[in-house]
Every structure is written in structure tokens, then in C-alpha cells.
Amino acid sequence: MDVILYGLGPIGRQILDVAARSETLHILGAVDIDPALVGRDVATLSTHSRQAGPQVVATVDDLPTELYTRNGATALHATGSRLSDVWPQLRQLLDAGLSVVSTCEELSYPWHQHPELSKEIDRYARERGRTVLGTGVNPGFVMDVLPMCLTAVFDDVQGIHVTREVDVSSRRVPLQRKVGVGLEPTRFAQMAATGKIGHVGLEESARLVAHGLSWEIDGITNAIEPTIATARHRVELGELLPGEVDGLAQRCVATTKDGRTIELDLVMRVEVEQKDEIVVTGAERHRVVIPGGLPGDTATAAITVNCAERIGGMDKGLLTMAEAGLPRYQHRSFGRGSPLPQDQSKEEDR
Amino acid sequence: MDVILYGLGPIGRQILDVAARSETLHILGAVDIDPALVGRDVATLSTHSRQAGPQVVATVDDLPTELYTRNGATALHATGSRLSDVWPQLRQLLDAGLSVVSTCEELSYPWHQHPELSKEIDRYARERGRTVLGTGVNPGFVMDVLPMCLTAVFDDVQGIHVTREVDVSSRRVPLQRKVGVGLEPTRFAQMAATGKIGHVGLEESARLVAHGLSWEIDGITNAIEPTIATARHRVELGELLPGEVDGLAQRCVATTKDGRTIELDLVMRVEVEQKDEIVVTGAERHRVVIPGGLPGDTATAAITVNCAERIGGMDKGLLTMAEAGLPRYQHRSFGRGSPLPQDQSKEEDR
């Protein structure tokens, strides 16, 4: 499969690593606006590169012309969280004939917050016979796709409660900043109020779940609170003192008219014990626990590539993960593996 | 949605309960060969019926002619585990213009054990523009679909190990018989060797996972061992003495040429602590635990109906759960819920 990397920040580099390690993915080009990257062999940016790759270019226009003579390349897009910021990039990629799998958080369920833009992206992609899909570990999997999948064995669902606790101690500095590590609580409140800190995508996850289950959301609340350090910590961002913010607790609760609820609790702080937990309640109640939690960036990179592997079999237009089939790893390191059963290859091969 | 119930045994009755409880499912007809059921109002067989239903008929030919004037009814089929036994039934349903969701265990991945028959079913369904899908909680979810879904966040998968432990103490007698409860160990061995006891579908689960991940299975082993009671137990089947078989431990291990493994361990015995556990190992290792385990029959009934709700948007032909989209609960008790975002309704509505 031919891929274009668009965005070589922390997530883009992880995606590059996944792609470079694979024997069946072919990196056709790489785009990043950073002048320090433009002109470099993309393989030198990967810890897993085995051979020379294409040069990083600054814009889609500078991508190798090979792109236009081969059919069906897919862009692995990882630049920003806000759809209005990334739409010009997505449009360029669609114009170049590419389908796009993006880690843009708002793209995981853009239909509520950006209904007109979503329609435009959908129309634009369909007209070009291409697919645009937002994914990631969160939003895109732990707090939406996996809970949806679990509801399959329920004959009634009254409530879904997902808790994800992420230890940011050893995570990258931008992530530590994003969750407010080291701030005074008052400063945290100011920055949270203006959207300068906080996880983007929690409400999108709730809306994606509701969409997938055909629930109509009647009310939705979002809250974000700082968590406070009680001991000294040394993190990559610097030294953290007791009383300073060591992360955040974010909560989104969506309710339907008939009293069904989607509760999403996300804690991202220093030295919390990592865990993901999903509780689905209906006539029965079942709990799924992932001790240690699913990882962040590496999981986002993996699901991005795994979705790209299957994108040729998906519908055209702007999709959510609810319309993108059963997400799963696709064997690539040693060739495509088993041929599909005869006459049954439509999903993968069409 | 219009549904036909085919098979009103223990699982079929559970499916009936789910359907009867719903305000949006319409039970158009019910088929069972049992003379004690034929002619009865199907609603009287449900613990949840709110109104009169159709009469149970003995064959598809006797179903209400309304079936042929409405478009797109779906059969919820629950009669047998063996594909060769149920194919004549499926064919009749396809001839009557129905798509089929079936709990037939071998149908969860029929392409290996019945390649010619699978091709025939696939062709037959396509020619009629209908879909045939095998599902259930196991096979169909816990030991195949859910593990596949989890691999989505892995950039390499070396091994998948699923353990399911089911307490059969309070389960229906046929299930207790199926796992050998009360047998002498020597008798267990004889019956296991001739396929008279044991869970059907473990190898199908392994093959479904391999199929979904595009792994080529190089070798596969199946083992079935009795578990032995160490204390007296009173179960529905009768009194169980120490030294008698109180259930079974079944194991299927599939390996690929490059050393990847799918290990499935299923324990079904009296008074075991119920639990499902999935471990996926690649560059990282993650474990998912469902304390108490997902239920059996009720979960099978639920996923059957939930798949039927989405079958209109699936490809035609013989599908596996790997091609059936993201499985999930579909809101039905209080109407279909939220309209889909405009221009995005293809999966559900086409």
C-alpha cells in the first residue's frame, strides 16, 4: 500500500515508525511545514528505517509526481486537533487523489460541532471517490469504538461509563502542557476556560457512541478540573511542587430523553495508576478492565495505519469509526498473509 | 424491521424475548418443527410478549404470505451447530427472500471446514441480493470479534490468547450435557472422540481471527479434556459426585509459518469462577479482563438481533463477523433514536 505522511510531529513520527517497519507499506512521500525537516530523507527521522525514503516536502504540491500515476494512495494525516485548521490540508490531499486517515480529534465525530463543514468534506470526498476517516486511540477507540463493540452483546443498554486514567509522567512535554502540568490552579482555570488546555475529543467520543447506537442526545455536559500534586515530582517539563497542578480530570456526560447515559471520565495526570475501564449497564451489567491501560501515541499510530490498510474497502465520503468496519490489525510485516476465501474478498480488495 | 424466527429452542426463545420486547421489531412469522409448538401463538412462548403474535408454523412454506409483499425481512435462525444440517433451512429462507442471521456455530467461519458449501451459500445469497451471517457470543464475539477489535491499536501482533471460563452450574441441561457433566471420564473420552460432546466453534473462532488479521494458519491443534469434580454438586442435570466429570477444558492453538499464535482456552464446568480474558502480545502486551464473564445465551440472542438491525447495510453474500461492520447495540425499544447525519446514512439505510 502506498502512503503519504502528512505531519511529522510526535504522532506523525510514530506513524512513520509503523510505516517504516512494514515491508508492505510504501512511503511515497512526506509533508511537513517545519523548515528544519523539509529536504531531509524521511527515513532519517524514523528509528526503524531500513532504507532511504523520499525527501520531506513543505506542501502537497511538492509531492513526487509518482503520486499521480499510481492509484489509491492513502494519506496518514497528523497535524492538528481542530477540523477548521486541518480542512485546507485534507482538501489538498483529496485534490491529489488521496484518501485520508487522520488523527485530528474533532474529525472523530465532526457532524455535531461542524455540520456544514462535515457535509462539505463528505461531498468533496465522494465526488473524488475517496474516503476521509478520523481515528486514534482516544478519541477513536478506547472511549468510543471499544465501548460500542461491547454493546453488541446487550439486548438493552441504559448506560455506558468509560474511565481512562493516563499517567503523563513519562509522556512528551506537549502532552504534559496540554493537561496543565505545573500550572497554578487559578491559571489552569483560565486556560481551561479558553480551551488552551484540555483533551480534545471527549465530547466527540460521546457523540460517536450515540451516533453508533442510534441514540439521540438530549443534553450534554463537559467539565474539566485540575488535579493537584501532593508530593514533589520530577517530570520532563520540570519540577512539580505540591499544590501545583499535576494534570486534569475531564468529564463528559451525555443523556437521552429516555434517560440513557454516556459518561466519559478521563484523568491525565502525573503518576496516576493507568487503567481503562468500560461499564455497560442494561438488563445486565458488565465491566471490562484493561489493567495498565492502552497506550497513547503508539496506539494512535497503530490504529491509523491499520485503518489505512482497510480503507480501500470502505464507503466513500466522510466516515466515522462506526462506519469503518471492524477495526483490527492487518498483517503487513511479512506480506499480506492468507489469501481471502474465494468470492469473499470484497471488503479488502475492492 | 420485520423478522422471522426460525428455531424456538433455548436460544430461539431468547431471541424471541429480545424481539418481543422491542417496539421497532415486528415478528412476521415463526418456524419450528416441534409439533408441540406448531399452531401456537408465538407470543405465548415469550416471557416478554405484549401482544398477540403470529402462529408458529412447521416450515418456511407455511409462513404468512405477507412475507412476500414486504421487502427486506430478516430471519433470526437458531436451530443447529452444523452447517450441513442447517443449509437446507438457510436455502429455504433465502428462497423466501430473507437475509439470515444465524447462531449456527460452524457458520461463524465456514470457509475452511466447508469451502465448497460456503461458496455455494455465498453465490446463492448474492444471486438473491441477500446476506447470510453467523454470529453469537461464542463463536462470534468473545473469542474472535472482541480480540480482533483489540488488535486495532497494535502495530504488530505476535500472539493472541483468549481464555473464557463459564460456570455451567445454573445453565440449561442441554448445555450441561454438551460439556459432559456427570459422565465417567472414560465415557467422556469416547464421546469427545466422536464429537458427541464439546463446544462447537473454537476452531472457527481461531480461523475467523486469522482471516480478519490476514494471517495464514500453518498448523492448528484441538484438544478437549474433562474437568473432574472434587466435591458433590447439585445441578439441574442431577447430583454430581467427586470423580465424575464436571465439565471440560477445550483448547485450540493456531500457528502461522512466522510463529504467530492464536490460543483459545475455553473452560465450561460446574462452579468455575466466570471470567473472560484476552491477551494480545506484540511489541507491547495488553490484557483485557471481563470479570464475571460475558453471558452465554442472552448475549447470543442480543448480538443476533443487533446484527440483524444492521444487515441491510452489509454486503450481500456469505459474510463473517469480520465483514459485518462494527458490531454494536442498536437502539430499538423507544424508536430508532437520532436520525443519522445527513448524507451519511448509507450504512444503515441502504
**pLDDT tens digit sequence for B128-165:** 999 999 999 999 999 999 999 999 999 999 999 999 99
- Tell me the chain A residues in contact with residue B291 when contact means C-beta distances shorter than 8 Å: 287, 289
Task: Tell me which residue has cell 461458496.
Answer: B119
* Cα–Cα distance, A335 to B350 (Å, whole number): 35
The whole-number pLDDT of residue A24 equals 85
The whole-number pLDDT of residue B312 equals 94
**Closest Cβ opposite residue B155 in set A153, A256, A305:** A305
The whole-number pLDDT of residue A277 equals 98
Residues 229-288 of A with CB under 8 A from B: 256, 258, 283-284, 286-288
Mean pLDDT across chain B, nearest whole number?
A: 92
The whole-number pLDDT of residue B65 equals 86
* Cα–Cα distance, A120 to A114 (Å, whole number): 10
The whole-number pLDDT of residue B22 equals 86
| Cβ <8 Å between A122 and B343 | yes
The whole-number pLDDT of residue A349 equals 33
Contact of A21 with chain B, judged by CB distance below 8 Å, is answered with: yes
- Tell me the chain B residues in contact with residue A118 when contact means C-beta distances shorter than 8 Å: 341
| Cβ <8 Å between B329 and A157 | yes
Residues 187-226 of A with CB under 8 A from B: 210-217
Q: For A282, name the nearest residue in chain B, comparing CA atoms only.
A: B329
Q: In what order do the strands lie in the sheet with A317-319?
A: A56-57, A26-31, A2-6, A74-77, A99-102, A131-134, A317-319
**Each residue of A246-298: pLDDT tens digit?**
999 999 999 999 999 999 999 999 999 999 999 999 989 999 999 999 999 99
- Tell me the chain B residues in contact with residue A326 when contact means C-beta distances shorter than 8 Å: 145, 148-149, 212, 321-327
| Cβ <8 Å between A326 and B328 | no
Any residues with CB less than 8 A from the CB of B162 and at least 6 apart, and which? B142, B143, B147, B205, B263, B264, B265, B276, B277, B278, B279
Beta bridge partners of A162: A264, A278
**Closest Cβ opposite residue B341 in set A118, A299, A346:** A118
CB B281 within 8 A of CB B236: no
Any residues with CB less than 8 A from the CB of A178 and at least 6 apart, and which? A197, A198, A199
Q: What are phi and psi of B96, to 5 degrees?
A: -85, 5
ipTM above 0.85, yes or no: yes
A343 pLDDT above the threshold of 50: no
Three cell numbers at A319? Answer: 466516515
| Cβ <8 Å between A154 and B302 | yes
Measuring CA to CA, how many Å separate B195 from each of B82, B178, B179, B200? 11, 10, 11, 9
| Cβ <8 Å between B328 and A294 | no
The whole-number pLDDT of residue B333 equals 58
**Each residue of B102-133: pLDDT tens digit?**
999 999 999 999 999 999 999 999 999 999 99
Three-state secondary structure string covering B35-95: CCCCCCEHHHHCCCCCCCCCEEECCHHHCCCHHHHCCCCEEEECCCCCHHHHHHHHHHHHH
B262 pLDDT above the threshold of 70: yes
CB A313 within 8 A of CB A350: yes
- Tell me the chain A residues in contact with residue B301 when contact means C-beta distances shorter than 8 Å: 155
Q: Where are the beta strands (DSSP E) in chain B?
A: 2-6, 26-31, 56-57, 74-77, 99-102, 131-134, 157-167, 217-228, 233-235, 238-240, 245-256, 261-269, 275-282, 285-291, 317-319
Q: How far is A23 from chain B, CA to nearest CA, in Å?
A: 12
Of the two residues B319 and A64, the one the predictor is more confident about is: B319
Counted across chains A and B, CB pairs separated by less than 8 A come out at: 239
| Cβ <8 Å between A287 and B290 | yes
Q: How far is B239 from chain A, CA to nearest CA, in Å?
A: 29
Residues 92-151 of A with CB under 8 A from B: 111, 115, 118-119, 122-123, 137, 141, 145-146, 148-151
Three cell numbers at B136? Answer: 453469537
Average pLDDT over residues B166-180: 92
Select from A271, A273, A300 the least CA-distant residue to A289.
A273
Peptide bond connecting A139 to the previous residue in cis, omega within 30 degrees of 0: yes
**Each residue of A124-168: pLDDT tens digit?**
999 999 999 999 999 999 999 999 999 999 999 999 999 999 999
**Closest Cβ opposite residue A294 in set B118, B153, B155:** B153
Q: How far is B79 from chain A, CA to nearest CA, in Å?
A: 19
Average pLDDT over residues B259-281: 97
* Cα–Cα distance, A106 to A313 (Å, whole number): 23
- Written as one letter, the residue type at A273 is E
Q: How far is B185 from chain A, CA to nearest CA, in Å?
A: 34
Average pLDDT over residues A200-223: 97
The whole-number pLDDT of residue A344 equals 39
| Cβ <8 Å between A333 and B156 | yes
Of the two residues B346 and B302, the one the predictor is more confident about is: B302
Q: How far is B183 from chain A, CA to nearest CA, in Å?
A: 32
The whole-number pLDDT of residue A51 equals 77
| Cβ <8 Å between A329 and B152 | yes
- pLDDT band at residue A337 under the 50/70/90 scheme: very low
Average pLDDT over residues A313-332: 95
A236 pLDDT above the threshold of 90: no
Query: Best interface-test mutation with A: which of B208, B214, B314, B319 has the largest number of A CBs within 10 A?
Result: B214
Task: Give chain A's domains with CATH numbers.
Answer: 2-137+298-349 (3.40.50.720), 145-293 (3.30.360)
What b/e sequence results for B204-213 when a residue is b if at least 16 CB atoms lie within 10 Å of its CB, and e otherwise?
bbbbbbbbbb
Q: For A145, name the nearest residue in chain B, comparing CA atoms only.
A: B326
Q: For B294, name the nearest residue in chain A, comparing CA atoms only.
A: A286
- pLDDT band at residue B48 under the 50/70/90 scheme: confident
The whole-number pLDDT of residue A342 equals 37
Q: For A305, name the nearest residue in chain B, comparing CA atoms only.
A: B155
| Cβ <8 Å between A149 and B303 | no
- Tell me the chain A residues in contact with residue B155 when contact means C-beta distances shorter than 8 Å: 17-18, 21, 298, 301-302, 305-306, 329
Q: How many CB atoms lie within 10 A of CB A155?
A: 26
What b/e sequence results for B23-45 when a residue is b if at least 16 CB atoms lie within 10 Å of its CB, and e otherwise?
eebebbbbbbeeeebbebebbeb
The whole-number pLDDT of residue A279 equals 98
A230 pLDDT above the threshold of 60: yes
Q: For B328, name the nearest residue in chain A, comparing CA atoms only.
A: A152
**Closest Cβ opposite residue A329 in set B123, B157, B299:** B157
B214 pLDDT above the threshold of 80: yes
